[in-house]
Copies of this chain bind each other. A is one copy, B any other.
């Protein structure tokens, strides 16, 4: 079961470098060299064309298609699913010299190199094209997506003839004929094609969902002539250049992409026109510099430095970079797909990972982004209420997989039985408040969600036979290898915490602003009786626990399940979903990913160290880590238990899961939520940070292999800088705020001055 690295890229602290081209890595590189800016994403494909297999993937956050779901049609089972749709190739380019047209193939090129600069977000690529007749042309490509204005993107190709001079043609276009890979067809209708001397545009609309994308390209360069070519769903300008041996000639393109998510948005055409007019005035280098400046600021606040471990240094920077590419809170309505904007696997859907794994990253790096992430759930509260109705519940039931807010998961056992999306949203609100103290947000955006989720929790559960406790029946917890169980400990505990937090927020709101509270209560038809009921349910929530062993039982009856020695499963049986009969996976005590331990991480401060130790030692050996999120959770808890060696082993591939293609499926897209877990692994794991209680706390340790590491976190308007050495941990605030935190359980006042704390022996990894 050990996962093995497939190392390919050059190790470098600030760049991902590919030297020489190896077609076996072409799909992986398409994912690795993906660019994104939350608004849109583009895979690292070769815009000039590639003779091998390629997923020319170009995606927009929130632009999706829908399809009828096959299967049974009982009430509550999803009959229509939605997926992020492959949209437009706005990088489309064709290069011809005389009769010969370039399509990238290994045999025809030399001196290939590709570099993703993490500091600036610019992707460059260059090689020499060796033509049949011996002519050689050096090509350098550059592309970026603007982090400042997310509609903007740039592309530049620079051509240097090495041993000839003459004419050369560049056909640069906008192509809406892309095939959506997972469906096998194109899903766009073309509404309008327009062009001018140095620009062209297409407005297109998805076939079923009727969302629109408008893409306009503005070209600059010293062409000698130009003409235009139109096909169905495609337009291109053909530029003729005269190139001189040894001299650089460039074609530059600036792009504006606009999306219309709502069919009813009737000012879209005007916006497109304005967007186009503005585009024509922009300067490529200025747009590029603005975006690089955004990255510079980001690194200042969010960088993690690891001393003495180049691999993880590159790995964690790549993770941080990809997190911001996927999402940085520019827009309230955008989401974090399981593969970000880098591929079609998981249909671009967002899962409970968002609030559970990604949100902490944003809370501590970009609190506004964290807030906007939560606002997506506020904006889709109506859909969650619809979903609750379909499931015969009151209130709101958040989808397990979604783009638009509607449930997209067609497997009822997940969509109907997993309550953790709903409790994760509530947890996220609480977590956000704990760290930011942003009570206003919680009162106005959080509370409606909390009330509706509590209503769901109060109707989805049930009292047991003799009415002695309340709990959830027919559920699937985080461990998806226990399909339909009763009183899953995680689900019950998270339900209880949600109810209590909702009541707590209501109480504070009433105290703080009685008038507003009254209006809220009226609007949401909230009764005292309802609140009393929530309180009753919370105090009677069944938490399966054995006081003798201090073990939480994953669900009622789990301890009696047949035991499976997971280490005895033959390697060739993995992944189990492919080799085992579907039902066989669900008939023993094997765990897919942490369940009780997840609960103990999320509400870490609620449990004693002895409880944690006992449960960790009981559950860890039963877990096969089939989820890529699982090892980091175990690593964090192992650190807390001072199992430093074990913690480092679980950390293993966390930062380099995609760079080293550990799961051998990076070609399908990046493991975006695992990237978030890698960040948590360092900050919560080795850094020992905890943010689930009133006070922020740290118990830093350091892996034996490291000389030191440092990280920065945004906290209450300032940035806390943390450096952990082999013997000493240092803390300071970047802007000089005084902040009280706990370090090794002792209150410490942080300030601009460096606070130095000696690392206790037990916390030293070596």
Check if A382 is an interface residue, CB within 8 A of chain B.
no
Whether B561 and A416, one on each chain, are in contact in the complex, defined by CB atoms closer than 8 angstroms, is no
Residue-by-residue, is A572-584 near B (CB-CB < 8 Å gives 1, otherwise 0)?
0000011111111
Check if A465 is an interface residue, CB within 8 A of chain B.
yes
Q: Which of A74, A77, A411 has the most CB of B within 10 A?
A: A74
A74 → chain B closest CB, angstroms = 4
What residues of B have a CB within 8 angstroms of the CB of A391 in the complex? 581, 583-584
Check if A426 is an interface residue, CB within 8 A of chain B.
no
**In the complex, what distance in Å separates the CA atom of A462 from the CA atom of B70?**
34
**In the complex, what distance in Å separates the CA atom of A374 from the CA atom of B577?**
35
Q: Pick the 6 closest A-B CB pairs, nearest first.
A: A70-B70, A462-B562, A76-B581, A74-B582, A473-B587, A474-B587
Q: Which of A544-579 contact B (CB under 8 A)?
A: 556-557, 559-563, 577-579
A75's nearest neighbour on chain B, judged by CB, is: B581
Check if A713 is an interface residue, CB within 8 A of chain B.
no
A199 → chain B closest CB, angstroms = 46
A74's nearest neighbour on chain B, judged by CB, is: B582
Whether A416 and B74, one on each chain, are in contact in the complex, defined by CB atoms closer than 8 angstroms, is no
Whether B589 and A465, one on each chain, are in contact in the complex, defined by CB atoms closer than 8 angstroms, is yes
Known: A70-B71, A465-B561. A412 touches B583 (CB 8 A): yes
What residues of B have a CB within 8 angstroms of the CB of A563 in the complex? 465
Check if A417 is an interface residue, CB within 8 A of chain B.
yes
**In the complex, what distance in Å separates the CA atom of A75 from the CA atom of B417?**
22
Pick the contact of A464: B390, B416, B484, B561 (CB < 8 A). Answer: B561
A485's nearest neighbour on chain B, judged by CB, is: B484
Check if A486 is an interface residue, CB within 8 A of chain B.
yes
A558 → chain B closest CB, angstroms = 9
Chain A residues with CB under 8 Å of chain B are 70-72, 74-77, 390-392, 411-412, 416-417, 462-465, 473-474, 483-484, 486, 556-557, 559-563, 577-584, 586-589
**In the complex, what distance in Å separates the CA atom of A74 from the CA atom of B583?**
9
Whether A416 and B556, one on each chain, are in contact in the complex, defined by CB atoms closer than 8 angstroms, is no
Whether B582 and A416, one on each chain, are in contact in the complex, defined by CB atoms closer than 8 angstroms, is yes
A457 → chain B closest CB, angstroms = 14
Pick the contact of A588: B473, B579, B588 (CB < 8 A). Answer: B473
Whether B462 and A588, one on each chain, are in contact in the complex, defined by CB atoms closer than 8 angstroms, is yes
A622 → chain B closest CB, angstroms = 11
Whether B560 and A465, one on each chain, are in contact in the complex, defined by CB atoms closer than 8 angstroms, is yes
Pick the contact of A561: B71, B473, B484, B578 (CB < 8 A). Answer: B473
12 further interface pairs, Cβ-Cβ under 8 Å (given A74-B577, A463-B562, A474-B586): A70-B71, A74-B582, A75-B582, A392-B584, A412-B583, A464-B562, A473-B587, A474-B583, A474-B584, A474-B587, A484-B484, A486-B561
A292 → chain B closest CB, angstroms = 46
What residues of B have a CB within 8 angstroms of the CB of A74 in the complex? 577, 581-582
Q: Which of A391, A411, A465 has the most CB of B within 10 A?
A: A465
A176 → chain B closest CB, angstroms = 30
What residues of B have a CB within 8 angstroms of the CB of A589 in the complex? 465
28 contacts between A and B (CB under 8 A): A70-B70, A71-B71, A74-B581, A74-B582, A75-B578, A75-B579, A75-B581, A75-B582, A76-B583, A76-B584, A390-B581, A392-B580, A412-B582, A412-B583, A416-B581, A462-B587, A462-B588, A463-B562, A464-B561, A464-B562, A465-B562, A473-B587, A474-B483, A474-B586, A483-B484, A484-B586, A486-B560, A557-B557
A461 → chain B closest CB, angstroms = 9
Pick the contact of A465: B392, B483, B559, B583 (CB < 8 A). Answer: B559
**In the complex, what distance in Å separates the CA atom of A401 from the CA atom of B75?**
23
Pick the contact of A581: B392, B484, B559 (CB < 8 A). Answer: B392
Known: A561-B486, A562-B465. A411 touches B583 (CB 8 A): no
**In the complex, what distance in Å separates the CA atom of A486 from the CA atom of B557?**
9
A69 → chain B closest CB, angstroms = 9
A189 → chain B closest CB, angstroms = 27
**In the complex, what distance in Å separates the CA atom of A462 from the CA atom of B564?**
10
**In the complex, what distance in Å separates the CA atom of A582 from the CA atom of B484?**
13
Whether B75 and A580, one on each chain, are in contact in the complex, defined by CB atoms closer than 8 angstroms, is yes
A440 → chain B closest CB, angstroms = 36
**In the complex, what distance in Å separates the CA atom of A539 from the CA atom of B598?**
39
Whether B473 and A582, one on each chain, are in contact in the complex, defined by CB atoms closer than 8 angstroms, is no
**In the complex, what distance in Å separates the CA atom of A557 from the CA atom of B392?**
24
A412's nearest neighbour on chain B, judged by CB, is: B582
What residues of B have a CB within 8 angstroms of the CB of A583 in the complex? 76, 391, 412, 416-417, 474
